[in-house]
Each structure stands twice: as structure tokens, then as C-alpha cells.
Structure 1
Amino acid sequence: MADMQNSEPAPENMKSFSVKLQRLAYKLDLVFILRPTLFFPVWTIYAAGYFTGQHFFGDMAIMDRSIGKLWPVVIGAALTLLMGSVFIINQIVDAAIDRQNKKLFLIANGHVSEKAARIEAFVLAVVAIGVAFLHSLPSGVIFIVIFLVTGVFYSMPPFKWKDKALRGLLLNALGALTIFVAGWQTGTVLIVDVWVYTIPYVAAVSAVYVYTTLLDVKGDAQYRKATFAVDFGTNLTITVGAAFGVFSFVSGWLLKDPLIFYPALFAAPIFIIAVFRHSRKNVDRAIKYPILFLALAICYLLPAFFVLVLFTFYFAKFYYYYRFGLNYPKFEAD
């Protein structure tokens, strides 16, 4: 006790260092409420749209604008901001439930205030849509549709279709479709039949989405969320997800699209195993690996994408470990 009474106050430079650390932590919190690890599938589908357009209609490529080949990168960055805004909205809407379930705690636990989060979401969305319109009218319209589908209708009341089985599935499919088209039209002229080339990618995303509803089926049922797994049960959900996964492979083969065919080929056995061996680990693999396989295919075409994904992954890992002591994110199945 005497030692505590006789101890000297912390030096001013230590106090200043502590304040700087707190400010840095808050700035990083403002970055990570965007949930950067969720950008992996967004970037992957966007890049897939770009490369698919180039593969099938490279002779119709658009490279005559003022900054030419930089537009796909610029629009990709704008899409990142837009989806960051969407992910913030999702956390704001679910803050009370996340607080009770002890998950997604940055907003739920007050590390970032809801007011600050709302302002950030608004600014990000406005900037992203503005950049899209600078590129072209179609880009701007596509961005607005993406925001409405993945943000407003998916998360916000009175809609909140993420809590509805078929409507949640529909919005995820539409989200994948519009993000794919956003990537396509940054380098290739939009054609009427573009939706045909989205089919295997939409099927792959739908397969993964259906499986994600299995992860918190008890909690969703408790809060009366009529998600796919809650409404249709584990067996049918796993079967439907596997059917989407196999359909992605078949449609990729029929379209002669190697970018999705090979990842879907490698992913198909994972879905089939999940059908015959119901376990959390098999479901987790079916969620993580299909997009990972497609991302690796993108990395083959664009090695810089590997650097981006790796940096984001380990930066997030560093942040969550030193900020909260969490081992997140991780590729291995739980």
C-alpha cells in the first residue's frame, strides 16, 4: 500500500503515448466497422465479372475513357466503400441483437457510436455512388441498385428481407448478379445477354448463402427470424445448397467459362460431402472454400489480387488480436 502511495505519476510522455494509442485504436475501429474480411467475396465476384467480360467479349473492350485501364480499379475501390456502407447499416440495425449475442461488437458495445456509424455509412455511400456516376450512367445506376438490394431491402426496416427465407436468398442472388455486372461493364460493353454469364456465379453465391443460414439457426429461431435454415430445416437447406453448388459447376461447363468451371469443380465434392455427413465443420468448409477457390483463380489472372487479399487478411488478424485478443479471421473450418 505504501508503495502505491509513494509511486510517482506517469510521465507526461507516457500519457501522451497512451492517448495516441487510444486515438489510433478508434481510427482503426472506424475502418473495421466496414468489416473488411467481407470484402473478399465482393472483390472476387466483381473481378470475375470483369474477367468474364474480357474472356468472352474482349473485342468489345472499353478502354477509350480518360483514365483507361484504371477505371476497373477505381470502380472496384468505390464498390468497396459502398459495401462498407452496407455492412455498417447491417450492424446498426442488428446492434441490440449483436449486443445480446456478444458478436459484431464495435457498434453494439459502443466502441463506435451509432451516430458516428450513420455518418460514416452515409458519406461512404454518397462518395461511392458519385464516383460510379463519374464513370458512366450505367455504373451509377448499378451502384444504386446494389445499395438498395444489399443495404435497404436486405437489412433496413420495414423490409429486413435477410430475416426471410426466400426473399433473403433472392436478394443475395441479385446482389451477386449486380456486383458481377458492375465488374463486367468497367471493361466491356454491356450486352442484353450478360445475365446468362452471371448464372454460375449467382448459383455459387446462393449455395454459400444458404449454408450460412445454418450457422446460427438456434439464435435466429429464438429471435423469430424466418431464415432459410429456420423455415426449411437443416436437411433440406444442406441439399438445396449442394444443388446450387453442383449447378454452378454444370452451368460453368455449359457456358465454357473456365474461370468458374474449375473452382466449382473442386468445390462440388465439398457440398456433396456435406449432404451425406452433416457437421458444423463440413458446413463451414462449404461456406469458406468455394469462394476461396474462385479467388485463387482470380489471383492466377491478377497476381496483385493475391497481395490485396493477403494484406487484408493479416491486417485484420493483427487488429482483432491486439485490439480484442481474438483469433480472427481464419481459413480453417471450425
Structure 2
Amino acid sequence: MRKLLTQIADFVAFWRPLLLIPIWTPALLGFWAGGGNQGTKGATDLLITTTLLGIGIYGLNQIFDAPGDRLNRKNLPLALGFISPLMAKITVFLAFAGAVIMTIDRTLLTLTLIVVAIVLGVCYSAPPMRLKDRGYLALAANCLGHGFLIYILGFAWAAEKSGARWNWIVFARALSYAVAFGAVYLFTTVPDADGDRKVGKKTLAVIWGARKTMAFGLLGVFLAGAMGVAFGETALFLTAVVSVPFYWRAISEPTIDNHKIVRANQVAVLVLALLTCFYMPQYLALIFAAIVFSALYNRIRLKVKYP
């Protein structure tokens, strides 16, 4: 029984539950703007779909990044050999297929957004494109995929039933999340820079160096906060206000402190997620489950304290 539970836990950990939070959050915020604020139903189906999408994208990333993950000492189930490459590939295929199936009976726009997100995820991790190793293209892919597309997907999901109007403000709000997630992405490249450099990856932290990368990241946080005010995304503005001191603390250190960089990103992601709960209180249970599972798995299975 203990072995079975361990295998199940390894399988769930492969999904990267903590990284699903920054997919769920912009999707729900887009859903809220598209009709959730008027009582439109369908948030649960949206969460299931984005979960499947995230599992597929993160799983594919782990498949192609296993050597680098070992070099960077990332405690990931595939890199550690806890799950087999075949199981990983089957999981990715089924997750992508499930995401498409969830949208087959919806509008063509929604289905198209899911397909585009999957294609972008494949291009991000898989050769020959490997956008994640191409510096500026990696940044663009994160802005487009993590922020813009997911927010638009959430809006479209609700608008199907609510009849919400598409106008420039919808895309401006989505752009503000693109900037926000692009800024967070810049900070994520810094702790991995040494390992990425050794395996020949050309991330922006490798190209620019840590200080310049973090400076642009902080600028992005400020810009996202300003756009949040301008376009009525209060949660985004408040997240910027709360997270700026943490990012500034990481930047102002005389030597690069990876722990403080990671902590600043955690604060930004968690604050935005918790603020989303003011719109959709039930989301809190999902956040709690993801954090508790990850904490218990890391401490019991991997013997590390994270998060």
C-alpha cells in the first residue's frame, strides 16, 4: 500500500501542482471579466481544461528538460527517475487530448485557443523550435501563452454564455497579464542561469546577465501594476504593490540570492491567486490543496522544505 501511495504521489507531482496556480489564476480572472461577475456558470469546466493543458505543457517540458533538470538539481519526478519516460509521454498525450475534448462542444474560438496553446507549448519545449532556449522568443512565448492567451481563454469561456462584448479593453487587460507573467518569467531564469549556460541554453539571464534581467523584470512588475490601474484589473495592481518590495530586496542584494528571487516570485503568484479568491471564494480550496500536497510531497518524499 505504501509503495502504491508513493507511486500515486510521484504521478501527481509530475503534474507540477504549484505551477498550475499561475495558469488557473489568469483563466479565472478572464472568466470573471467575461461573465463570471454576472453569475455565469462554467468555472469548474474551465479549471479542468486548464489543468489538463498545464499538465501537458509542464509534462512535455520535463521530458525534454530532464538532463538540464538533473544538472540544475531540480527535484522533479522524471529527472529523479521516480516515473518512467513512457509514463510521462502517455500522460502528456492524454492531458492534451483531454483538453481538446473538453472544448469540442464549445465555440470554435475556444477550441482554437486551446489548440494554439498546445502548439505553443510544444514549440516551447520540443526540438527543433525549443523556444525556451531562444532568449527573446522564450520571453515572448511566456507573455503570450502564460498571460495573454489564458486570460482570453477564460473570457471566451464565460462570454459564450454571458454574451459579453469583445472590445479593446479585453485585449488590453490580457496584455497587462502578459507583461506581468513576462516579468515573473525573467526572474525565473536567473537561478538556473549557471546550469543553462553549461548546457548551451540561451535564456535571457545567460544573454543579459542576472542584474540586467532582474532590472527588466522589476520594470515589468511596475508596468503591469500601472496597466492594472489603467484597465481596471485591481487584483493585478495590488499584486504589484505587495510584490515590489520582495523583488527590490532580491535585486538590491550585493550577491545574487536565488532564495530571495524564488521567494519574490512565490509572493507574486500567491498574492494574485488569493486576490482572485475574493471573486471566486471556492478557488481557495484548490490553492490550498496544491500547496499542501506539494509541501508534504517535498518534505516526505524528497526531504526538502518547499514551499
Letter in 2 for 1:125: F
Superposed, 1:1-334 pairs within 5 Å as 20-54=1-35, 63=40, 69=41, 71-149=42-120, 151-175=121-145, 176-188=147-159, 189=164, 191-193=166-168, 194-277=170-253, 279-280=256-257, 281-328=259-306, 330=307
Q: Partner amino acid for 1:250?
A: A
Distance (Å, rounded) in 2 between the aligned partners of 1:165 and 1:242 = 18
Deviation at 1:152, TM superposition (A): 0.9
Give per-residue Cα distances to partners, 1:103-150, cap 9 Å, x unaligned: 24422233211111111110111011111122322111111111111x
Please give the secondary structure, in 1, of the residue aligned with 2:10.
helix
SS state at 2:74 partner: coil
Which has the higher Rg, Structure 1 or Structure 2? 1
- Residue identity over aligned pairs, in percent, reads 28
Cα distance in 1 for partners of 2:39, 2:242 equals 33
- Counterpart code for 2:236: I
Does the Cα contact within 8 Å between 2:71 and 2:195 map onto a contact in 1?
Answer: no
1:24 to partner: Cα distance: 2.4
Contact 1:91 1:104 in 2 (8 A): no
Matched position secondary structure for 2:300: helix
TM-fit CA distance, 1:273? 4.1
1:62 positional shift: 9.1
Deviations 1:295-323 (A, max 9, x none): 12111222211121112211222223222
* Structure 1 residues 101 and 269: CA distance shift in structure 2, 3 A: closer
2:131 and 2:182 mapped to 1: Cα distance? 15
In structure 1, distance between residues paired with 2:301 and 2:231? 46
Distance 1:269 1:322 in 2: 32
Q: Quote the Cα distance in structure 2 between the aligned partners of 1:109 and 1:272.
A: 34
Q: Measure how far apart 1:85 and its partner are.
A: 1.1
**Corresponding letter in the other structure for 2:3:** Q
| Residue matched to 1:11 | none
Letter in 1 for 2:87: A
CA distance 1:101–1:245, change in 2 (3 Å): closer
- The AA in structure 2 aligned to 1:103 is K
Please say if residues 81 and 125 of structure 1, whose CA atoms lie closer than 8 Å, have aligned partners that are also in contact.
yes
Mapped to 2, the partners of 1:323 and 1:256 lie a distance apart of 43
Distance 1:255 1:270 in 2: 24
Partner Cα distance (1:104, 1:240) in 2: 28
Alpha-carbon distance in structure 1 between the residues aligned to 2:260 and 2:95: 36
Residues 249 and 268, structure 1, Cα contact 8 Å, conserved in 2: no
* TM-score where L is the length of structure 2: 0.90
**Is the 2:183–2:220 contact (alpha carbons within 8 Å) kept by the matching residues of 1?**
yes
Mapped partners of 2:156, 2:105: distance in 1: 14
Alpha-carbon distance, 1:101 to partner:
3.9
Contact 1:75–1:132 under 8 Å retained in 2:
no
Counterpart Cα distance in 1 of 2:75 and 2:109 = 34
Distance 2:52 2:284 in 1: 20
Please report the RMSD computed on the Cα atoms of aligned residues, expressed in angstroms.
Answer: 2.0
With over 3 angstroms needed to count, the CA separation of the structure-2 counterparts of 1:234 and 1:100, relative to structure 1, is closer
In the aligned structure 2, how far is the partner of 1:302 from the partner of 1:121? 29
Seen in structure 2, the aligned counterparts of structure 1 residues 228 and 313 have a Cα distance that, compared at 3 Å, is same
Q: How many residues end up aligned between the 2 structures?
A: 299
